[in-house]
Amino acid sequence: MKPLILVTNDDGITSKGIAVLIEVMRKIGEVFVVAPDSPNSGMGHAITVDSTIHVKKNKIFKNIEAYECSGTPADCVKLAKHHFLKDRKIDLVVSGINHGLNSSISVIYSGTMSAAVEGAIEGIPSIGFSLDDFKYDAEFTHIKRWIKRITEKALANEFPANVALNVNFPAYSENPIKGVKICRQTNGYWHEEFDARKDPHGRPYFWMGGDFVNREPNAEGTDLHALSQNYVAIVPVHYDMTAHNTIKELKRWKL
């Protein structure tokens, strides 16, 4: 029996990235799609709790049952698990392919990875795929075989419990991808800048910009270092955010 694969993303159901991901997944298993009806980049792990969620069937993918959802990427996984597929076992959740990296601290803000993490919370093996290319018409041909290989390995092996894989790919170039590196998350952050502006009615508003700051630009073993060397970077992500190594130190405070 073919594995049941749930596909979602954060760029929206009409993005090129999700179409490519579905193209690869349908060669591996039975595909079921629940994805946002509009872009949800930077949504993080938000869920819809104070308004309605609208869902409707979408025939955009030939011979694939697909639904577009007004909610967040995490909402999409929850709806699939507890409504559409409530009587079936989901073998794998895949999210993406995101237009743009979700390396380093960006994993916290990413709707793509939050969908994968939601799958992990539900106890489902989950993978988020992202490409270092923000263009709407990004080139994905060079990563299809790597996505297929990683997915097949994930299905064939014992998947780490409650873990999601954060997979980032270098952008297309004339140089072929060298291979895969299992990495840790790069220590970095976004330095934000807020540009104060006024709308046509004279009302003030802000536009957020800024730059990424890499605290360890040459550190081997990190996702950004692997990508800079033209490798696929895979970081295992856990939703347990406890700083375990700090517990003993805090106990010394004798609160």
Q: Domain boundaries in the chain?
A: 4-186+219-251
The two structure tokens encoding residue 198: 């006024």
pLDDT band at 198 (very low <50, low <70, confident <90, very high): very high
187 marked among binding-site residues: no
Partners of 211 in beta bridges: 191
**Residue 239 to residue 255: CA distance in whole angstroms:** 27
Q: Is 214 annotated as a binding residue?
A: no
pLDDT tens for each residue of 215-226: 999 999 999 999
Q: How confident is the model at residue 154 (pLDDT cuts 50, 70, 90)?
A: very high
Q: What is the pLDDT of residues 203-253, one digit of tens each?
A: 999 999 999 999 999 999 999 999 999 999 999 999 999 999 999 999 999
Residues 4-186+219-251: name the CATH superfamily. Survival protein SurE-like phosphatase/nucleotidase (3.40.1210.10)
Q: Residues 8-66: pLDDT tens digits? A: 999 999 999 999 999 999 999 999 999 999 999 888 999 999 999 999 999 999 999 99
Would you give the end-to-end CA distance of the chain in angstroms?
Answer: 56
Confidence (pLDDT) at 1 = 87
Q: Does the annotation place 11 within a ligand binding site?
A: yes
Q: What is the pLDDT of residue 60?
A: 94
- Amino acid 111: pLDDT: 97
Mean pLDDT of 153-168: 96
Q: Is 22 exposed, middle or buried (0-12, 13-18, 19+ CB in 10 A)?
A: buried
Calpha distance 113→90 (Å, rounded) = 18
Full strand arrangement of the beta sheet holding 55-57: 55-57, 65-69, 30-36, 4-8, 92-99, 126-131, 163-169, 232-238, 180-182
